[in-house]
Amino acid sequence: MVDVVLGLQWGDEGKGKIVDVLTPRYDVVARFQGGPNAGHSLEFGGNKYVLNTIPSGIFHAHCINIIGNGVVIDPVQLKKEIEKAMTTGVDIKKNLYISEKAHLILPTHRLVDAASEANKGVHKVGSTLRGISPTYQDKIGRSGLRIGDLLDPNFKEKYTHAIANHKKLLDSFNYDYNLADHEPAFFEAVEFLKQFKIINSEYYINSLIKAGKKILAEGAQGTLLDIDFGSYPFVTSSNTITGGACSGLGIAPQQINKVFGIFKAYCTRVGNGPFPTEQENETGEMLRKLGHEFGATTGRPRRTGWLDLPTLKYAIMLNGVTDLICTKSDVLSGFEEVLVCDGYDINGQKTSEIPFDLSRKDILPLYRSFPGWTGDLTKIRNYQDLPETFKTYMDYVEAQIGVPVNVISVGPDREETIMK
């Protein structure tokens, strides 16, 4: 049995916390896509931890954590992340498994990412510059290196061959770089990773399924950043939806059971691209301030806006969501009025469907207004104790999307969670 946790917006929905909360129910947590551009924040015991590549179940001693084949791995970043996690007393060597088919982010991938973004001018996507896109390009172009290649005695020869085209590309961009500044840390990290369990993950995961183990597949980014179904070209380079769990872990579709979809009570986005309900005003600034809306990985301020039901319904449809989880509910406390977009006016035509090009300028969000609420929601643990105006807002959202909201997060800590 495999359940899936993924984001239904533009990322940053609070997946790390939710995976951490759900992990006690599972034997395995497996990350199935993305790279170290994802920042999953977990808070418990008065401490905050940010994971970029390691699955968010790592702080539970009973849980096996697998970095799946669909993930792209920066050895330098992963080494730092592992070393930091080790300071908490977590037995990483026991509980962390790495797929031999996961692709490697090479030092030149990061350089190509920076050079490419710099040359896009006004068409910049808003890359995190961590080499994610060039790595996935090499994967699709059949020229990438994988974790399993680290164990090959001829790895350095393979590496030299792999970066040859990157050097040509960097020269074509007239990009000034010194590869020697980056390679020592890379090769040190490569040797470091060899001491961990590098496995044929698809065989291992399927053997766990056969043995009756409970597996939670963890996604990164969000549905609206999916390479096929997101707000293209302002998207990530992998499939962030439920189908990505199958290809990113090597499991059959019929093995998928529950799909937990996570959404914020409002919307945020990092980087460039369309955002119909964005509030570039005092309301947006208040959402950013109260929600501490800055990227866990990059520190970049997030763009903020009201909840967008057309995109949420779209994400639920694509993912086959069975259970909804609402996060950041506490952030809306104190607003006199709360708005929710339940449709668009596009060139005079009303619709609740996502257009081919979400960037078009004639998309006008149609809002429904709700009275706001006050008080500190972080201390509430029972749904019936929430303000009536909040419950009216949430009842409307549930009715419109047709899927129950089973969990409401009212703060970043594990304990600040309401089960309906």
- Residues with a catalytic annotation lie at 12, 40
CB atoms within 10 A of CB 382: 9
Give the amino acid at 35. Answer: G
- HSE of 122, CA atoms in CB hemisphere, 13 A: 0
Q: How far apart (Å, rounded) are the C-alpha atoms in residues 248 and 226?
A: 13
Strand partners, 409: 417
For the packed helices 107-118 and 132-140, what is the interaxial angle rounded to 10 degrees?
Answer: 110
Q: How far apart (Å, rounded) are the C-alpha atoms in residues 366 and 340?
A: 8
- Which H or E run contains 218? strand 215-218
Q: Whose structure tokens read 């498994």?
A: 97
Q: How far apart (Å, rounded) are the C-alpha atoms in residues 8 and 240?
A: 9
Q: Percent helix, strand, coil in the chain (nearest 5)?
A: 35, 25, 40
Q: How far apart (Å, rounded) are the C-alpha atoms in residues 194 and 284?
A: 46
Distance of CA 52 to the CA centre of its chain: 9
Q: Which residues contact 274 (CB under 8 A, 6 or more apart)?
A: 231, 234, 358, 359, 363
Q: How far are the Cα atoms of 108, 232, 375 from residue 71, in angstroms, in the given order?
A: 18, 20, 41
